[in-house]
Structure 1
Amino acid sequence: MGQIQLLADEHDQRLQQARQLFFDQGTLPDGLVDPMILRSWERCRRFGLDDTSYAPVMDAMDRVALKTEQDRNRYLLVQGRPIMEHVFEQIRESGSMVILADANGLLLETVGDPDFVSRADRVALLAGASWDENQRGTNAIGTALSEEAPVAVFGGEHFLEHNGFLTCCASPIFGPDGRLIGVLDISGDYRSHQRHTLGLVRLSSAIVEKRLFESVHARDILVCFHGRADYLGSPKEGIAAVSPDGQVLAINRNGTELLGIRQVDAVRRDFSMVFESNLATLVDRLRHNPQATCEISVNGKAFHVQLRGQLPPLTVAGRVFDEPAAPRPLRRPDGGSAPTLTLDTLNTGDTRLQAAIERARRMLGRDIPILIQGESGAGKEMFAKAFHNSGPRHDAPFVALNCASIPETLIESELFGYQGGAFTGARKEGAPGKIQQAHGGTLFLDEIGDMPLNLQARLLRVLQERCVTPLGSTRSIQVDISLVCATHRKLREEVARGTFREDLYYRLNGMSVTLPALRERTDIRIMVAKLAAAETASRSNPVRFSEGALQAIEGYAWPGNIRQLFNVIRVAIALLDDDETLITETHLPEELFETSPLTPSASAPNYDPWAAAPLEGANSLDAISRQAAMRALEAAGGNISSAARQLGISRNTLYRKLGRM
């Protein structure tokens, strides 16, 4: 019997004994269950809940009421939805679901495997239901909200017996002001629990918090700091939002923990009192290099600092210089040399791609919209960034919006912005939309074919009049943008079906370029070499590919295009031992050696360590390696030999990679 199964059986025995002591004998089962679970059981008993009773199932609110609550939590949904989808990609086909709930335990949105969703519906794990502790007993969502801490509730740890088939892991989400605003949860069948799930939820909730903070304070100075320079930009960094006059407006939870202070000790105080440094000096040192860092000392601790957000205007002797009304264009890190990603660097020898590059190059500096077409994952956003970086606007912002990833009810405010008080939950000072943020630079609208018809009319008016009117406002704001759009749809057919405006189509289709799918390209070997070189830039010895590995890569159909290729290369590199430099067929996923790629309906193992993209934040090779090793071990039921065979490495190598956890 595997070690994982032994641990599960031991846990079940302790839990059964704990339930007998607590529910049957009325005594405290000290040492048998997690203290957090025990505190929850005691709260549920005080609520008057009966562990053998059934919580009402058909108590989900109606659509209108749910829509009202979703609008009230619109910013949580905007920032949480993409993370939910990314998390679900990691656990797809594992019999689980991802849930986002508000601060009262109301389920706002769920996404999950169909076979588990049908079972989940029986216990009201659906949008509109409440999972507050006083209604559902001990459960990850309600208990995480009560404890304001991450929690895992396994099987019989649920207070209500009929919820015992569930295993749930949840982590609270705190807003930019430090208030608890929601919770992210993964729920699944008790028998299919995976050890890494709680860590996945904790990381994902931290990412949501970071996105919320940066979104709310996008127009403030963001002082990002950490004791380790490589943690800057990660979910673990501290962030303080500071006004141009040096007042600390907000500081995230990581920041207060790093500084060892409370939120109330920092907010509304002068920057110099909190950070023991002069803000103006810091801004002057880092103004012209968004990627640069410097060190400061706070209470004897050294911190690496980086500035983001909206920096104040340059002042000399009290006078403001070169401060436009619209957001200031971002400066390149090197202060003048060309950006790394350009149309020239994209050109790796494929004839069709080279033709697209040449067509786009002729449009540089001209006020003509570009429409990029191609399959999902073919590199449309990369091409748009290269086009922006190659033209005269390369010093100004590149702002992207995916029209397919944002709900129809939210995309309008994201694109056009809003005035303070325009709707419930809006910031009192309002917020600029993507169009305003792109002033002077390039606006990239990905999946433009999915834009709702009513917004298509507004976008057309912006393009014609060169001004935008935020929601709730009557004042038009002049904008100067270069527009690049992309879609995998055939817009001519969408026009014929009436789902896309004909006048907007002709407005956008000033210059159309079509990117070839990866399987159609002739430069795959060059692409593999470039991607591998970029991924291993910190290694002392370059990575090479065997001829057999290159032939397998060239012969595969790549349904996921460049995105899938990049993931395969990252995982292959992560599986190399420290002293290895040659990637062979054993480092590549088995699907590359099949005659045709798996279709979505084809059967596949629940835990294929190669299938899921690495987590956001898992951007080191060691992290990716650990992730793949854990997935393989879980898929093999804890059998080290089987997992090593699946990964194409030795048992000793697998032990070493697991030992790095």
Structure 2
Amino acid sequence: MEGRAVVREAHEARVRSARERFFVRGDDAVDGVASLVLRSWSRCAEGGIDFRAAVDRDPAGRAMLAELRERSGDLLGQAGGIMEHVFEQIRASGSMVILADAEGVILHSLGDPDFVGRAQRVALQPGATWGEAVRGTNAIGTALVEQTPIEVCGGEHFLDRNGFLTCSASPVFDPHGRLAGVLDISGDYRNYQPHTLALVRLSVQLLEKRLFEHRFARDLVLAFHTRPEYVGSLQEGLIAVSCDGQLLGMNGAARECLGGAVGESPGRTLDNLFRLSFGTLLDRAGRDPASLLAVELRNGQQVYMRLKTSVPMRVEAAPARAADAPAARPRSAAKPCQGVTLDDLATGDAQLQLALDRGARILGKDIPLLIQGESGVGKELFARAFHHSGPRRDGPFVALNCAAIPENLIESELFGYSGGAFTGARREGAVGKIQQAHGGTLFLDEIGDMPLGMQARLLRVLQERSVTPVGGSAQVAVDISLVCATHRTLRELVREGSFREDLYYRVNGLTVTLPALRERSDIRRIVMSLLACEAGGEGEREVGISEEVMSFFERYPWPGNVRQLQNVIRVAVALLDEDEALILPRHLPEDLFGTDEFDGAKGVADDTRREASWPAAGGHGVPATASLDEIELQAISQAMRDTGGNVSAAARRLGISRNTLYRKLGRMS
């Protein structure tokens, strides 16, 4: 922490000096800030923005925000689960996750209550415009202008009033390469974390992949990369084609590999890109769908390709599916979540089996199901399995997270609205989640967080079996199976007066409780299945796990449950070097050992820190005649000494990845 404070103070001093020269002296050729920031300062100054301006509160009203959210419906729909997952990783860090549209208007945010209150004082909230022309230099607006990921820390913000923020943002592009919006993590500048921008960029890669697969869900999708191990990863190129081989779209990685926006040219076919004909490719892929095909581009470059299913897997559900599936070889593909049934979730754990058996007994009966359990145990996965196991399996499964939708929007999300219901609403209106679930299952996650006013309307729907859209008068009959979930105790909420007692008895037809991960007896099978899911994009490479790590997993209490375990395994797989195939203690995230939750972690923690001693490199100063290699050696040696030989901490201090540091250490030895 002391070292981080020194770095922050040095950065603050550089930025203060740069601001003095730029804003007071009018010097536009200053150092101390990144070129992206300086370009933005210049644009803002030329645009007449006053860096001393007071807070300008301009959030859009409810109607306008609803219209903007409607326009960005696909973006919001695919980003919701990712934002929740990211927020779980940064919870209690004094920050928030923000999604804005292509104009910089904030559509949705999740954050720690204390920081959200401070952010609202500068209008960092849904409905507010954070385009650069309005708010000056800031990560959201500047990322949109520059169309590249960017970090804006403290005084790098153009407006004085925003100097307490540190923001990391990355633009989001739609399946046709057009700017769709921006994802941002904002927090207190004093809590700056060097890895935040990397987390944002990774999340945007996942979001863009989701948008692509959603847009081309009914088309053929080809995944490829110049390196076989990257097929199936977030770095893979994706091409959507029609049944007759017409190119429909490409993701950014495909455009970069193939050159330009060739995929959007009218009349283009797959034959214009590859030497192998479309028909031949389909024939070869059909013989062995799981295999990689070596295909030559028209420019002579070879890529490895796989034909993906036309029914894409839901990214947020697939890992959870794998967690409850029988053990599998790490390179086997995960089963698409659309087909998960209660039988698929049976892994031998007694507590889980009790919930499965109880749920199976009410299949096809008009009995609401209430799923209880801690966050991260797989409540939505259980709900999907319940739906696919019953007679409504061919109907829609519609999910709504009551805690993730702003209170002023949940009414229109749930009940829909009629045309002209409010200013800015779509002329034809919009169908709500309840109507969308007609003939299928409506899943209300975190129902304990539903506002009281909405509870009364939901109760009426369940009683009358009909729904009235916002602004409408005609009732629409609905036939739904209701499944709800919560990590809270509804009885206590009833006693507190925050949940209606009459609604409680309506949704609580049968209650099942899913066990926490620390209580389950099948952790080894969960670990192996998650490993199969996370390492599934490694081609023929098999990834194993050491007995020492597996034993630790069985002892660790897992406060974040399956979601936390999935993240740990994902990080461990990512930290494997190309010649490594076994997860060892050193591949585990360091934060597993940063708490006192479990003394049994000490042995593994000590192993991750068991490095050679690092000799001093001639004092703290660097000779003026030192070569770049000597300077690098000095910096690495100093970082290793300061962190007690902790490679992860040293890598963070140096601003490089742990794998890069390992390679540099290997060259030093």
TM norm. shorter chain > 0.5:
yes
Residue in 1 that maps onto 2:26: 26
Which of 593, 597, 603 is residue 598 of structure 2 equivalent to? 593
Asked if the contact 1:220–1:241 (Cα under 8 Å) also holds between the matched residues in 2, the reply is yes
Q: Separation in 1 of the partners of 2:356 and 2:180?
A: 46
Q: CA deviation at 1:431?
A: 12
Question: What SS does the corresponding residue of 2:203 show, helix, strand or coil?
Answer: helix
Asked if the contact 1:251–1:266 (Cα under 8 Å) also holds between the matched residues in 2, the reply is no
Q: Separation in 1 of the partners of 2:511 and 2:362?
A: 11
Q: CA deviation at 1:142?
A: 1.8
Residue in 1 that maps onto 2:196: 197
Q: Separation in 1 of the partners of 2:379 and 2:431?
A: 28
Q: Separation in 2 of the partners of 1:456 and 1:237?
A: 47
1:343 corresponds to which letter in structure 2?
D
Q: Separation in 2 of the partners of 1:508 and 1:279?
A: 53
Asked if the contact 1:435–1:443 (Cα under 8 Å) also holds between the matched residues in 2, the reply is no
Residue in 1 that maps onto 2:39: 39
Q: Separation in 1 of the partners of 2:462 and 2:227?
A: 44
Which of 365, 371, 374 is residue 373 of structure 1 equivalent to? 371
Aligned CA distance change for structure 1 residues 74 and 201 (closer, same or farther; 3 Å): same
Aligned CA distance change for structure 1 residues 370 and 588 (closer, same or farther; 3 Å): farther
Asked if the contact 1:549–1:588 (Cα under 8 Å) also holds between the matched residues in 2, the reply is no
Aligned CA distance change for structure 1 residues 70 and 13 (closer, same or farther; 3 Å): same
Residue in 2 that maps onto 1:183: 182
1:206 corresponds to which letter in structure 2?
Q
Q: Separation in 1 of the partners of 2:250 and 2:8?
A: 40
1:58 equivalent to 2:63? Answer no
Asked if the contact 1:50–1:160 (Cα under 8 Å) also holds between the matched residues in 2, the reply is yes
Q: Separation in 1 of the partners of 2:217 and 2:410?
A: 17
TM-score using structure 1 length? 0.66
Asked if the contact 2:442–2:481 (Cα under 8 Å) also holds between the matched residues in 1, the reply is yes
Instruction: Spell out the pairing of 1:503-652 with structure 2 (5 A cutoff).
Output: 509=509, 513-518=512-517, 521=519, 524=520, 526-534=521-529, 542-545=545-548, 552-553=555-556, 556=557, 560-564=560-564, 590-593=595-598, 639-641=642-644
Instruction: Spell out the pairing of 1:167-316 with structure 2 (5 A cutoff).
Output: 167-262=166-261, 266=265, 268-286=267-285, 293-299=292-298, 300-301=300-301, 302-309=303-310
Measured against aligned partners, the alpha-carbon deviations of 1:253-309 in whole angstroms (never above 9, x if no partner) come to 222112112257545523322445444444455469775543432232213233233
2:47 corresponds to which letter in structure 1?
F
Residue in 1 that maps onto 2:163: 164
For the aligned residue pairs, the C-alpha RMSD in angstroms reads 5.7
1:195 corresponds to which letter in structure 2?
P
Asked if the contact 1:44–1:137 (Cα under 8 Å) also holds between the matched residues in 2, the reply is yes
Q: Separation in 2 of the partners of 1:293 and 1:461?
A: 54
2:160 corresponds to which letter in structure 1?
E
Q: Separation in 2 of the partners of 1:7 and 1:359?
A: 57
Residue in 2 that maps onto 1:404: 402
Question: What SS does the corresponding residue of 1:641 show, helix, strand or coil?
Answer: coil
Aligned CA distance change for structure 1 residues 242 and 499 (closer, same or farther; 3 Å): farther
Measured against aligned partners, the alpha-carbon deviations of 1:310-347 in whole angstroms (never above 9, x if no partner) come to 59xxxxxxxxxxxxxxxxxxxx9799xxx998737734
1:404 corresponds to which letter in structure 2?
C
Asked if the contact 1:78–1:406 (Cα under 8 Å) also holds between the matched residues in 2, the reply is no
Select between 166-175 and 66-75 the one with higher mean Cα deviation: 66-75
Q: CA deviation at 1:231?
A: 3.3
Residue in 2 that maps onto 1:81: 80
Q: CA deviation at 1:490?
A: 7.5
Question: What SS does the corresponding residue of 1:181 show, helix, strand or coil?
Answer: strand
Q: Which runs of 5+ in 1 are unaligned?
A: 312-331, 596-632, 648-653
Q: CA deviation at 1:592?
A: 2.9
Aligned CA distance change for structure 1 residues 455 and 223 (closer, same or farther; 3 Å): farther
2:523 corresponds to which letter in structure 1?
V
Q: CA deviation at 1:66?
A: 3.2
Q: Separation in 2 of the partners of 1:385 and 1:114?
A: 31
Select between 564-573 and 125-134 the one with higher mean Cα deviation: 564-573
Q: CA deviation at 1:358?
A: 4.2
1:112 corresponds to which letter in structure 2?
G
2:399 corresponds to which letter in structure 1?
L
Asked if the contact 1:74–1:410 (Cα under 8 Å) also holds between the matched residues in 2, the reply is no
Q: Separation in 1 of the partners of 2:26 and 2:295?
A: 55
Measured against aligned partners, the alpha-carbon deviations of 1:73-125 in whole angstroms (never above 9, x if no partner) come to 33332223333332222222333232222222222333333333343333332
Q: Separation in 2 of the partners of 1:281 and 1:456?
A: 57
Q: Separation in 2 of the partners of 1:70 and 1:431?
A: 14
Asked if the contact 1:416–1:436 (Cα under 8 Å) also holds between the matched residues in 2, the reply is no
Question: What SS does the corresponding residue of 1:94 show, helix, strand or coil?
Answer: coil
Aligned CA distance change for structure 1 residues 552 and 263 (closer, same or farther; 3 Å): same
Identity across the alignment (%)? 43
Q: CA deviation at 1:527?
A: 1.9
Aligned CA distance change for structure 1 residues 387 and 72 (closer, same or farther; 3 Å): closer
Q: Separation in 1 of the partners of 2:172 and 2:334?
A: 37
Aligned CA distance change for structure 1 residues 225 and 72 (closer, same or farther; 3 Å): same
Q: Separation in 1 of the partners of 2:434 and 2:4?
A: 48
1:304 corresponds to which letter in structure 2?
M
Measured against aligned partners, the alpha-carbon deviations of 1:618-649 in whole angstroms (never above 9, x if no partner) come to xxxxxxxxxxxxxxx9xx999513968999xx
Question: What SS does the corresponding residue of 2:522 show, helix, strand or coil?
Answer: helix
Aligned CA distance change for structure 1 residues 551 and 144 (closer, same or farther; 3 Å): closer
Question: What SS does the corresponding residue of 1:240 show, helix, strand or coil?
Answer: strand
Q: CA deviation at 1:42?
A: 1.9
2:65 corresponds to which letter in structure 1?
L
Q: CA deviation at 1:182?
A: 1.7
Question: What SS does the corresponding residue of 1:135 show, helix, strand or coil?
Answer: helix
Aligned CA distance change for structure 1 residues 34 and 261 (closer, same or farther; 3 Å): same
Q: CA deviation at 1:175?
A: 2.3
Q: Which runs of 5+ in 2 are unaligned?
A: 313-331, 533-540, 601-635, 651-656, 665-669
Q: Separation in 2 of the partners of 1:297 and 1:579?
A: 29
Q: Separation in 1 of the partners of 2:173 and 2:576?
A: 39
TM-score using structure 2 length? 0.66
Measured against aligned partners, the alpha-carbon deviations of 1:447-481 in whole angstroms (never above 9, x if no partner) come to 6787866678879999x9xxxx9xx9x9x9x99x9
Q: Separation in 2 of the partners of 1:461 and 1:73?
A: 33
Q: Separation in 2 of the partners of 1:65 and 1:388?
A: 35
Q: Separation in 1 of the partners of 2:550 and 2:272?
A: 61
Aligned CA distance change for structure 1 residues 506 and 542 (closer, same or farther; 3 Å): same
Q: Separation in 1 of the partners of 2:461 and 2:531?
A: 45
Question: What SS does the corresponding residue of 2:22 show, helix, strand or coil?
Answer: helix
Q: CA deviation at 1:193?
A: 1.7
Measured against aligned partners, the alpha-carbon deviations of 1:599-627 in whole angstroms (never above 9, x if no partner) come to xxxxxxxxxxxxxxxxxxxxxxxxxxxxx
Q: Separation in 2 of the partners of 1:214 and 1:413?
A: 27
Question: What SS does the corresponding residue of 1:80 show, helix, strand or coil?
Answer: helix
Asked if the contact 2:285–2:307 (Cα under 8 Å) also holds between the matched residues in 1, the reply is yes
Asked if the contact 2:372–2:511 (Cα under 8 Å) also holds between the matched residues in 1, the reply is no
Select between 283-292 and 211-220 the one with higher mean Cα deviation: 283-292
Residue in 1 that maps onto 2:99: 100
2:598 corresponds to which letter in structure 1?
F
Q: CA deviation at 1:380?
A: 3.6
Q: CA deviation at 1:176?
A: 2.7
Residue in 2 that maps onto 1:117: 116
Residue in 2 that maps onto 1:132: 131
Question: What SS does the corresponding residue of 1:309 show, helix, strand or coil?
Answer: coil
Q: CA deviation at 1:173?
A: 1.6
Measured against aligned partners, the alpha-carbon deviations of 1:522-575 in whole angstroms (never above 9, x if no partner) come to xx4x4232234445667676532599958854xx5x654444566667779999
Question: What SS does the corresponding residue of 1:224 show, helix, strand or coil?
Answer: strand
Q: CA deviation at 1:442?
A: 8.9
Select between 155-164 and 540-549 the one with higher mean Cα deviation: 540-549
